[in-house]
Amino acid sequence: MSSPGTYLAAFLCGGLLCLIGQILIDKTKLTPARILVVYVVAGVILGATGLYRPLVDACGAGATVPLTGFGYTLAKGVATGVAESGFLGALTGGISAAAGGITAAVFFGSLVAMLFKSKPKR
């Protein structure tokens, strides 16, 4: 069972990552798509250098659910893939590690698209 401190750490970490993203949207000319790419690449770099693991250990889902966590999962998958399959693992490891999240995103996105009618933005 998790302690209340674990939930607080997850909330604060995830909230801080969201706050940084909101500041980037409000104060820069970066598009949301570019901010998404910055977050994923930051997660890959921090994961590859070993700097993201302590954040995951301390914050749990607050660090793994945001886009930086996706980048971290890709980097971890590539490292595992290379250890198991060599060069081919560098090409397949990231996708294998993130397959569950990608599948869930496609499934739930399709489900929502079937249940609701889209409207043009005004």
pLDDT at residue 1 in the model:
53
Alpha-carbon gap, residue 79 to 111, rounded angstroms = 33
Whether the predicted model's global pTM rises above the 0.85 cut: no
Please count the CA atoms within 13 angstroms of the CA of 52 that sit on its side-chain side.
Answer: 28
Token digits of residue 94: 């990231």
The sign one gets for the Cα dihedral 37, 43, 45, 48 is: negative
Tokens, residue 107:
């499934």
pLDDT tens across the length of the chain (122 residues): 567 888 999 999 999 999 999 999 999 999 999 999 999 999 999 998 999 999 999 999 899 888 898 899 999 999 999 999 999 999 999 989 999 988 998 999 999 999 998 888 77
For residue 15, CA distances in Å to 62, 70, 101 come to 8, 16, 21
Helix intervals (H) in 1-122: 4-27, 32-48, 53-59, 61-64, 67-85, 87-115
Is 75 in contact with 94 (CB distance < 8 Å)? yes
